[in-house]
């Protein structure tokens, strides 16, 4: 019996004239994600992507798991495929789902005919396949309202597909269809979620991390690398830029009023991130900031941060509660790594009482008193370390 994965396209089906571009991108993402698992044929028709193994014994469960993380797909199902001849459909349904049917009591058959030439109408298919399966499993009953198993039969152009319930996909739009951005990745809970949210809207992204050794440890860097790798299951391969941030950070500590330290540091980080982004032709920055979560994320502080440089700063977590961010972080699989206890550079040198309502005037005055900062920032941006992140990398953390 041949098994296939059917992946159903989401929002991109609304894309009108651009749709083929979205489809091509989606197929590319899927091929790329399955590359080291074996040979698959990936093709699209009628809002569905067909992912067909071309070798025996490929790990279809792992393939489905990977496809469920590709943005652009709302639902997917593993399905048996066969000729459209009705007897063959019955035999295939039994061979594919018989084992499952033995373990349950109620079921229902749903049919969908994309091939309108097919001689049987959907209700006939449901009734007759239902009757066939009942004859094989007399303990079963049909329950159309709350069946334990809903069996779908899809009659499509090139064949029939039989499967159980569809499982959720990652939704959104294929990565790379909405531009390119640079995500500021700390080791915390929020910034991986921010990256995921924006990749889901189709942004291709890379990450930048600020490290201040010896105040921050090599383990902190490894942790961020682990997060970038976990995210790569959604974003695809990318680069993690690690900025040697110790000197600018010490300079700010030593030359500015300590109540303004955090906002001054965040402006400095964004300026460096913008330099790296422009060099790599990335069009926006992403952060995990959430309004009023901490002193540096009050409205007044964000106004000051935004004025530091001119690339757009995307903040998808801005209106989320912490518990919503945590729930997302668990769902995407970064939470456990995020809560590992390694110091982030944002938490060193922070004053006990940072100003929650800094004004841009006082911030700019403080920066005027730090004439050496620009040069240190420039040097930090130039000496950035580039770490390639590959989906299949071994976890080292
Ligand atoms: P997170 O959970 O993402 O660490 P947070 O609530 O701890 O966020 P902050 O430490 O104020 O908040 O950081 C706000 C945002 O700034 C982060 O979400 C992240 O985008 C960015 N950021 C903070 N520290 C770093 C860092 N060391 N390297 C890169 N980006 C950082
Ligand atoms: Mg943080």
Q: pLDDT (tens digit, 9 = 90+) per residue, 92-113? A: 999 999 999 999 999 999 999 9
Q: Are residues 52 and 150 in the same domain?
A: yes
- CB burial class (10 A; 0-12, 13-18, 19+) of residue 179? middle
209 lines ligand 1 (CB under 6 A): yes
Identify the residue whose C-alpha is closest to ligand 1 atom 23.
186
346 lines ligand 1 (CB under 6 A): yes
Question: Which helix (DSSP H) or strand (DSSP E) does residue 395 occupy?
Answer: none
Tell me if residue 59 falls in helix, strand or coil.
coil
Domain of residue 264, residue span: 180-389
* pLDDT for 345 beyond 80: no
Among residues 92, 7, 3, which one has the least CA distance to residue 56? Answer: 3
Ligand 2 geometric centre to CA of 193 (Å): 12
Q: Are residues 164 and 186 in the same domain?
A: no
Q: Are residues 129 and 231 in the same domain?
A: no
Tens-digit pLDDT profile for residues 210-225: 999 999 999 999 999 9
pTM: 0.92
Ligand 1 geometric centre to CA of 280 (Å): 21
Give pLDDT, residue 351: 85
Residue 270 DSSP class? H
Residue 395 pLDDT class (50, 70, 90 cuts): low
Question: In total, how many domains does the chain have?
Answer: 2
- Within 8 A by CB and 6+ apart from 87, the residues are none
Ligand 2 geometric centre to CA of 151 (Å): 46
Q: Are residues 301 and 280 in the same domain?
A: yes
Last residue of a domain, one of 168, 192, 209: 168
CA–CA separation, 98 and 101 (whole Å): 5
Q: Of all residues in the chain, what percent are helix, strand and coil, respectively (each to 5)?
A: 45, 20, 35
CA–CA separation, 235 and 198 (whole Å): 10
Q: Are residues 145 and 198 in the same domain?
A: no
């Amino acid at each position: 019996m041949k098994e296939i994965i059917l992946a159903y396209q989401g929002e991109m089906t609304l894309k009108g004239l651009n749709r083929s571009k979205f489809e091509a991108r989606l197929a590319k993402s899927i091929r790329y994600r399955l590359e080291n698992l074996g040979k698959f044929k990936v093709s699209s028709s009628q809002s569905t992507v067909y992912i067909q193994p071309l070798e025996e014994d490929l790990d279809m469960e792992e393939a489905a798991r990977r496809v469920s993380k590709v943005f652009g797909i709302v639902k997917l199902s593993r399905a048996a495929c066969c000729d459209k001849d009705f007897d063959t459909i019955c035999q295939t349904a039994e061979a594919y789902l018989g084992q499952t049917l033995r373990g349950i009591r109620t079921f229902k058959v749903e049919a969908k005919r994309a091939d309108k030439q097919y001689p049987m109408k959907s209700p006939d298919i449901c009734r007759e396949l239902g009757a066939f399966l009942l004859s094989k499993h007399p303990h079963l009953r049909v329950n159309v309202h709350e069946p334990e198993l809903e069996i779908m039969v899809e009659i499509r152009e090139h064949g029939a597909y039989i499967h159980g319930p569809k499982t959720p996909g990652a939704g959104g739009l294929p990565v790379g269809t909405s531009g390119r951005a640079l995500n500021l990745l700390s080791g915390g809970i929020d910034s991986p979620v921010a990256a995921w949210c924006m990749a889901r809207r189709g942004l291709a992204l890379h990450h930048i991390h600020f490290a201040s050794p010896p105040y921050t440890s090599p383990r902190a860097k490894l942790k961020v690398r682990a997060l970038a790798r976990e995210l790569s299951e959604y974003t695809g391969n990318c680069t993690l830029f690690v900025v040697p941030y110790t000197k600018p950070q010490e300079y700010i500590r030593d030359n500015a009023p300590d109540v303004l330290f955090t906002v001054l540091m965040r402006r400095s980080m964004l300026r460096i991130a913008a330099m790296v982004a422009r060099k790599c032709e990335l069009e926006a920055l992403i952060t995990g900031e959430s309004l009023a979560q901490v002193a540096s994320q009050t409205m007044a502080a964000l106004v000051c941060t935004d004025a530091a440089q001119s690339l757009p700063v995307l903040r998808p977590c801005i209106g989320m509660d912490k518990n919503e961010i945590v729930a997302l972080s668990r769902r995407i699989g970064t939470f456990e790594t995020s809560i590992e206890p390694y110091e982030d550079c944002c938490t060193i040198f922070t004053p006990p009482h940072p100003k929650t309502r800094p004004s841009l005037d006082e911030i700019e005055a403080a920066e005027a008193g730090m004439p050496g900062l620009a040069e240190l920032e420039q040097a930090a941006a130039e000496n950035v370390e580039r770490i390639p992140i590959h989906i299949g990398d071994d976890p080292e953390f």
